[in-house]
Amino acid sequence: MLRTFDLVLIGAMTAAAAVTYTIKHRAELKLEEVHRLEAEIKLEKDTIDLLKADWALQSQPNRLERLVNTYNSELQLQPTDSTSLAHARELPMLKSQVPPPDVADAKSGAKPGAGAKAQPIPMPAPRAAAAEEPDEIETGAVE
């Protein structure tokens, strides 16, 4: 009987060793994958930093001015008129500010506005004359 018990223990120990080896092998594979992903992330971050530096170099005002002067005959660029720009008060309402439609009229089948007051369509505010008020930039930019 002792020999049978020894064989069972040897089998259990062999199975435990196989399971332990399998878990260790999977953990090593996951660790390699983590290192590979970290290397990819570092490469992407380095690429982003390089592209930001390149953009800063490409968009320097003195470089752009030099290019405009060089290619002015082909490009024929003109300054933007200040009347071509829209003020914030001229833009239409945000979707969150638009009043909701009257649900009661839609459910009852009645024509909209038949029993209730029709809601006005939001329109941009008219532009005031330039002499009345100076341009105020509401985005926090400085002059």
Q: Which 3 state secondary structure label does DSSP give 85? A: coil
Whether 53 maps to a domain, the answer reads yes
* Distance, CA of 67 to CA of 60 (rounded, Å): 11
More confident call, 103 vs 17: 17
Most confident among 37-46, 79-88, 98-107 (mean pLDDT): 37-46
pLDDT of residue 117: 61
Whether 57 maps to a domain, the answer reads yes
The boundaries of the domain holding residue 44 are 2-70
Q: Examine the pLDDT at 34 and tell me if it is beyond 50.
A: yes
Average pLDDT of the residues in 30-42: 97
Q: Examine the pLDDT at 103 and tell me if it is beyond 60.
A: yes
pLDDT band, residue 56 (cuts 50/70/90): very high
Most confident among 69-78, 112-121, 131-140 (mean pLDDT): 69-78
Going from the C-alpha of 54 to that of each of 77, 80, 131, the distances in angstroms are 24, 27, 43
pLDDT band, residue 143 (cuts 50/70/90): very low
- Domains in the chain, number: 1
